[in-house]
A and B are shown apart, each in its own frame.
Chain A
């Protein structure tokens, strides 16, 4: 093997010249735990969180963003400034009563956020709980709940929500009830499928061998390991619920017409579109996109974070 000569290359000593001296080195920022910080690993979580916090801030202190936001709607009417397009004075323009649309949109933030979070909270808790029980115990209870779930998911959610509101009537509370009824199945399915896997894992087997009670095993050992996909889903579900609720109001089947809500504002502008008054229906959509982006990014970030942990 004559060709097995190794070329020595450049003199290694020369290459390493000056390396003995202390040298400032760029190293990635690392937190005390030795891992890159959460924000660094998932920038979308950071951006999403900032946007979500901002929305909460708007909902909590609307008057900081629009001074008349908390006044009753009738007080906003100004018949000298009806149907004005967006200007420096009226950022989003005014509606047919001369009300400033920007003020109305800011004023509605609290309610829409409440509907979004409220719609998700109960299904998240109840749906996940049912998933835990079904997955862990299986058997008859599991099949009964899953058959009920089958019936619920046989309806397109919008159709079911409309039917429910049609029965129990309009209004915020009734809208929430409709949202609760249509949004629990995904949580049950997600958690159930993860519990089925976790149930056979070694840590659960070990806990069983150690004689822990079912309740302890379910809530202390299984729950923390299976809930992450549910949490990630919940973040995107908030957006979906806000949109569904607004869609319902848009169809006149959500909150009653006198309640200020993004969907109902957009709906109220419908009749003026043909007349060229485009801003009433379009401008409120911008804040909805902002809210949607915030929660979506937040959810994506959570997903990155929870799925990549090792």
Chain B
């Protein structure tokens, strides 16, 4: 499978006069065509910022300070504003967390479809109307024609999320950035949206970058997953690996803090402490203050990222040491 998106060493800071928040630091990953890639972590770990940085949808203070984002081999970071705008919507669509606040409240659903569809100069009004209805039907909205005349506040929460997805799909993007698409919804509707996204991905053959803090959703949807902590990716792998054989203590902590499916009696183990303040310089491993296995090295040195298995990468001193030990043991064995 070819990669649709390759992110290399991406760093993005929020820079104001008084502070610099290192929201995303040296992030590297890639998304293959047709796959769903999960980006998980606690709130404030930089996962949403990272997703927005991919299409440079950042507030003025947000600056990409390093790295590259290659979309179909073109670097988004060095594009002009005009080029990025051409990319947004048509190539890379995006949906947001809160369907209540993410649609323009003062215009009708129709107008919000037409805004996107109008970019195709050849489209007639009738064709746009037809296409809008088709998109609404695609996301499973009953009586799609009637919904076009509605204002956002006249729709229910789940309906709004579907409408937002339909609008984001209007220009047939190849990659959909989904920023916590289920967080603000009721549990039953969450499932519907997950199924919908899965169906759409298969039907349209697009890729999805799913930003979420919900490991359950990741399990259901994603082919690959990256775990973010304090602006950095700490573990990245095939979905089965981090979730079932986590190597990084943070990933382990995340999984242990979830209720197990069939085991309701065992106690949940929360991760103690809070994520570090990203406006201060972090020395050593960012997870060190909360990690149960912290050593002196962890406090002073940033861990390297090492491959522990085919396509499974971890940034943790413990893992590195274990790998080195195994490595040297092997070498010694080879020498003898």
A→B interface (CB under 8 Å): 1, 3-9, 12-13, 15-16, 19-20, 28
Contact = CB atoms under 8 A, between A and B. Distances in A.
Interface in B286-336: 300-305, 307, 311, 313
B283 A4 contact: no
Label chain A's interface by main secondary structure.
Answer: loop
A199 to B, nearest CB: 26
Given A3-B3, A16-B284, A28-B18, A8 B302 contact: no
B30 A3 contact: yes
B151 interface: no
Given A1-B224, A19-B283, A12 B29 contact: no
A16 B300 contact: yes
Interface in B1-37: 1, 3, 6, 8-9, 18, 26, 28-30, 32
Contact of A12 (B9, B236, B301): B301
A20 B6 contact: no
B301 A20 contact: no
Contacts of A19: 283, 300
Contact of A8 (B30, B233, B283, B305): B305
Label chain B's interface by main secondary structure.
Answer: strand
B236 A4 contact: yes
A6 B224 CA distance: 14
A20 B300 contact: yes
A19 B307 CA distance: 27
A13 B238 CA distance: 29
28 contacts: A1-B1, A1-B32, A3-B3, A3-B6, A3-B30, A3-B32, A4-B236, A4-B311, A4-B313, A5-B307, A6-B28, A6-B236, A6-B305, A6-B307, A7-B8, A8-B304, A8-B305, A9-B9, A9-B26, A12-B301, A12-B303, A13-B301, A16-B283, A16-B284, A16-B301, A19-B283, A19-B300, A20-B300
Contacts of B307: 5-6
Given A1-B224, A4-B313, A6-B305, 20 more contacts: A1-B1, A1-B238, A1-B311, A3-B32, A4-B29, A5-B307, A6-B28, A6-B236, A6-B313, A7-B8, A7-B9, A9-B9, A9-B26, A12-B303, A12-B304, A13-B301, A13-B302, A16-B301, A16-B302, A28-B18
A9 B10 CA distance: 11
A8 B32 CA distance: 21
Nearest to A36: B18
